[in-house]
Every structure is written in structure tokens, then in C-alpha cells.
Structure 1
Amino acid sequence: MKIAISTDGDFVSPHFGRCPNFTIVEVDNSKIISREVIANPGHHPGFLPEFFDNMGVSCIIAGGAGTRAQALFAEKQIQVIVGVSGRVDDVLEKLLKGELKGGESLCSHDAGKGHGMEKNECEHHGK
């Protein structure tokens, strides 16, 4: 499974689309097999869901994302986990242990509750 984490330095960024970078991690059998940091390629409606779908990303992790963005990711069958904060390394450790839980969006947008986005745990952890 391939995961995209909104990244600002060593930390999860509070807003998915406006982060400076993304940490792209490929996980297999609860182990990280590749990891790279890429610059945010742009923030306009519909672009990032298409971009990450083309990369084979199946889960995004961020402090927050707007409901429209979450719906566009859902159309691509890309799981969205918001309400995550802290160091990227700590978040990855929790993910690999199956302990990563999201919550309310940390940005000013609605987190998507009530819009088919009730699940805030990565259902694919460790795969």
C-alpha cells in the first residue's frame, strides 16, 4: 500500500492541500519498503486526488482537509485520515502497529463527518 502524508518539515501538516511537501511511503507486510519526500505539486480542486491516484496512493494522512477534497479522494477510492498531528516518524510507527487514529480536521474546513467519511482509521495499515 502507498500512503501520502501532508508534511511540513518533520511534522504532519495541518492542511493537506497547502502543505509544502508530501511524504510518500510504501508499506508491505507492516514494513516500510520505500519513502520519499516530494514537493507539493499544486493545490487546485481535483488535481491532488488525480495526482495521487496516478501514483497508486490508497490512503492520505493529514491534519485536515476540506469536505470537497475528501469527497474527490473518495471518488478515487483513496482513504482519507484527518485529525492527525505530530512527527511523521511517530505517525508511521503508529500506522505500522495498527494504532493510528484520526479525528476532527485540524484545518478550518469541515472534516467530512456526515458525508460518508465516518472512518478515521487506516483500514489498510500494515498491508
Structure 2
Amino acid sequence: MRICIPTEGKGGLDDYVCQHFGRAASFTIYDTETGRVEVIPNTSEHFGGVGKPPEIIARAKADVVVCGNLGPKAIIMLEQLGIKVYSGASGRVKDVVEQFLSGSFAETSVESACREHKHF
């Protein structure tokens, strides 16, 4: 399984989970089968690039996204791309991966999406 975690800085296991999904500077991908870590910069339209964050994550072949918060549009788009979403994560990526693998997060639905900050 490939787990994608939106990260605040340059990414990696020691970086922190970004609380605003679409505004993450990078996406850290952790492969549970190989233990490999891949970091993908957020080159979406939010940073002057093209496309939306879910499209970048889909190209990276992520199976799930574990994040702090995200809005309903992002959840819908990720679900349409076949990617499951889990929210409520905070702290370092390596700790979030361990928490996810131990079953600490419930799958997020559109109804439970963050609407306060208009996350995408």
C-alpha cells in the first residue's frame, strides 16, 4: 500500500503533516511493502502550477491519503480517483504512518470534511 501524507516542508518521515491539504508544500509517499519513501513537490495550481493536488497524488499511485484537514471537493476528487481518505492526523510523518497502520484513523467522508477554511 502507498500512503500519501501532505507535508509542510521538504517532506520525508521527519517532516510534519500539513494541516491544509491543498496548501501542502510536498506530499510524502510511504510504501508499506518496500519501506521506500518518495517525496513529491506540490506543483498544483495552488503554487502557480497546473492541476489539483488529488491529480498529483493519483499520478504517484497512492492508495490512501492521511492528512490533517481537507474539504469536500478534495474528498470527492480523491474518491473518484480511487484513493481512500483519512483525516485528523498531526505531528511527524513517521508517527502518523505508525498510527495509520495500527488502525488509529477512520475513513473520512464528505460529511465530515472541513468547511471552515475552504480546504481543497
- TM-score band (shorter)? 0.7 to 0.9
TM-score w.r.t. structure 1 length? Answer: 0.70
Deviation by residue 1:7-55 (Cα, 9 ceiling, x = unmatched): 1142111011101111111112xxx521122221214596222222222
Gaps of at least 5 residues in structure 1 are 112-127
1:21 and 2:26 matched: yes
The within-5 A match list for 1:1-127 is 1-9=1-9, 10-28=15-33, 33-43=35-45, 47-101=52-106, 108-109=116-117
In the aligned structure 1, how far is the partner of 2:45 from the partner of 2:113? 18
> Are 1:7 and 1:20, in contact at CA under 8 Å, matched by a contact in 2?
yes
Q: How many residue pairs were aligned?
A: 108
1:87 deviation in Å? 1.4
Deviation by residue 1:58-89 (Cα, 9 ceiling, x = unmatched): 11111111111111111111111112111111
TM-score w.r.t. structure 2 length? Answer: 0.73
Higher percent of residues as strand: 1
3-state SS of 1:99 partner: coil
Q: Which aligned segments of 4 or more residues in structure 1 are displaced greater than 6 angstroms?
A: none
Gaps of at least 5 residues in structure 2 are 10-14
3-state SS of 2:37 partner: strand
> Are 2:2 and 2:29, in contact at CA under 8 Å, matched by a contact in 1?
yes
3-state SS of 1:95 partner: helix
In the aligned structure 1, how far is the partner of 2:114 from the partner of 2:98? 21
In the aligned structure 1, how far is the partner of 2:113 from the partner of 2:90? 10
Higher percent of residues as helix: 2
Once superposed, what is the RMSD of the aligned Cα atoms? 2.6
